[in-house]
Amino acid sequence: MRNQFLFSGLIVSLVLLFLINMSLGSVAIPLKEVFTTLTGGTSEKSTWQYIILNYRLPKAFTAIMVGMGLSISGLLMQTLFRNPLAGPDVLGLSSGASLGVAMVVMGAGFFPALLSGILLSQFSIVIASSLGSFLVLLAVLAVSQRLKDTMAILIVGLMFGSITSSVVSVLTYFSSADQLQKFTFWALGSLGNLSWNSIINLSTCTLIGLTLSFINIKPLNALLLGENYARSMGVDYQRTKTLLIFTTSILTGSITAYAGPIFFIGLVIPHIAKLVFQTSNHAILFWATLLLGISIMLLCDTISQMPGCDFTLPINAVTSIIGAPVVIWLLLGKRKMAT
């Protein structure tokens, strides 16, 4: 009953945040006009209809995909590593994806024009981003087999992130002004400027990742009590681990390729879901994390739009302002429990 009430409240909040997100921006549009446009009616002003359908709706869809994908990635990583501070950005996955994109964007100039054009296509960037994320996660997982201290695993992830960031710095040093500008804007993170074709591609990758996550709910519950317990419950540990790595790589890699590196969403949202629903059952946490991820991402996007102003903040700045205090609070809570 309590969970039903919470889920109902989350869905209502999500719908409200979606409408507010469509309404606020440099041009304020009444909620009634937003609703009329989205339901196929004609808005009072044609410019409002144009802004909603061509700018704000694609951006809201992107925010939904990013919120769902990154928050579920964080949930998978925290369960696989049995570490509450694991997440795509903490474990270096976002940095690995950034390295993949940097190598494509800034390395394309060394190849002939035809090959350079292929490398700079959206499809190549998605592949490079997913591959970078996949390789870093494999490396972290290999090292974690030798380490039992969960905090040490996180530090290893941060070190891999530091290495990939260093390689990106070297690449930027030798890049042209045009390549550097293109990569810098991408690295700030943005939910806008995606065409509907790009959104369809991002949605396809996200839905594949979410489907693979959903069918692993039962093994995820078994993994909460460790590898040996999962094996005793009949879980094929190696297969499950490989599938979780593959799923996280698809989700993090595709989202980073299209929206840039977005920090803290994957780390913070699963914790909020666990605190609100007070359960470790992934059958509940999956949907709770999904809905909270969408809501928080829509909220961050609304704040980044700076309603009434002519400029927009980088989405990463907003997610960091909200996410960093939560991480500090989690660390302080863990220290208090240890003492």
Question: pLDDT value at position 210?
Answer: 94
Other beta carbons within 10 Å of 270: 28
**CA dist., res. 263 & res. 70, Å (int):** 9
Question: 208 lies in which domain range?
Answer: 1-334
**CA dist., res. 225 & res. 169, Å (int):** 40
Total of domains in the chain:
1
**CA dist., res. 269 & res. 78, Å (int):** 11
pLDDT at 21 over 80: yes
Question: pLDDT value at position 160?
Answer: 80
pLDDT at 335 over 70: no
DSSP string computed for 175-225 = S-HHHHHHHHHHHT--S-S--HHHHHHHHHHHHHHHHHHHTTHHHHHHHTT
Tell whether 339 is covered by a domain.
no
**CA dist., res. 332 & res. 239, Å (int):** 35
Tell whether 247 is covered by a domain.
yes
Q: What is the mean pLDDT of residues 94-101?
A: 80
287 burial class (0-12, 13-18, 19+ CB within 10 angstroms)?
middle
pLDDT digits (tens, 9 = 90+) for 279-334: 889 999 999 999 999 999 999 999 988 777 777 888 888 888 888 887 777 667 65
Question: pLDDT value at position 163?
Answer: 84
Query: With contact defined as beta carbons under 8 Å apart, do 87 and 78 qualify?
Result: yes
- Which of 84 and 15 is assigned the larger pLDDT? 15
Average pLDDT, the chain: 82
Question: pLDDT value at position 336?
Answer: 58
Give me the CATH number covering residue 61: 1.10.3470.10
pLDDT digits (tens, 9 = 90+) for 115-137: 666 666 777 777 887 788 778 87
**CA dist., res. 178 & res. 16, Å (int):** 40
**CA dist., res. 135 & res. 252, Å (int):** 12
Question: pLDDT value at position 43?
Answer: 78
Other beta carbons within 10 Å of 187: 18
Q: In angstroms, how far is the first alpha carbon of the chain from the final one?
A: 36
**Which sign does the torsion angle of CA 155, 157, 158, 163 carry?**
positive
- Which of 5 and 261 is assigned the larger pLDDT? 5
**CA dist., res. 156 & res. 158, Å (int):** 5
Question: pLDDT value at position 339?
Answer: 54
Per-residue exposure over 204-236, b if at least 16 CB sit within 10 Å of its own CB, e if not: ebbeebbebbeebeebbbbbeeeeeebeeeebe
Q: What is the mean pLDDT of residues 228-237?
A: 82
The angle subtended at Cα 201 by Cα 29 and Cα 116, nearest 5°, is 110
pLDDT digits (tens, 9 = 90+) for 139-195: 877 777 776 665 677 777 778 878 888 888 888 887 777 777 777 777 777 788 788
Query: With contact defined as beta carbons under 8 Å apart, do 243 and 223 qualify?
Result: no
- How far CA 205 is from CA of 25, 137, 246, 254, in Å, comes to 29, 18, 12, 7
Other beta carbons within 10 Å of 12: 10
**Among the listed ranges 68-77, 194-203, 207-216, which one has the minimum average pLDDT value?**
194-203
User: Is residue 129 helix, strand or coil?
Assistant: helix
